[in-house]
Amino acid sequence: MSTGVGVVVAALAPVVISRYGITGHEIWLLCSLAVLLLDWVTIIVTQRDPTHRAAVAAEARASRVRLGYWALIAPLLEIPLQIALILVVLGPFPDLEPALYITAVAVMLFEAAWILTYSVYSQAHPAAA
């Protein structure tokens, strides 16, 4: 759920911030900093949550294949998202900042969809014979 909320916040941030007359690098900088902060706070809080840790441990016992697959997918999504936002913050490609930010939002959307789909299908039980 937090990833889905993060996508909405990230998508609306440029719209809200632009209403205050902020444009150019500043808008993408502020939005990227906000999304990076939100993303890192979510990661840290999730990793410190005992309920989450217990769920991960239960998943590891239930299926190492599913857990390994998830452990592979998460970095494949999170690393490009972080790189795109960090590039906006550092500013080496000012002409690409809107594209980099939108790319990060799109990756977040895909990540939220992946988590939702994974959560739904991981709860499925085989039909009784």
Distance CA 116, CA 66 (A): 15
pLDDT digit string, tens, across residues 64-91: 655 665 677 788 888 999 999 999 999 9
DSSP secondary-structure letter at 8?
A: H
Could you give the C-alpha distances from 90 to 5, 29, 121, in angstroms and in order? Answer: 25, 8, 39
Looking at residue 129, its pLDDT comes to 47
Q: Residue 20 corresponds to which tokens in the numbers above?
A: 């205050």
Is 0.85 topped by the overall pTM? no
Q: Residue 54 corresponds to which tokens in the numbers above?
A: 């217990």
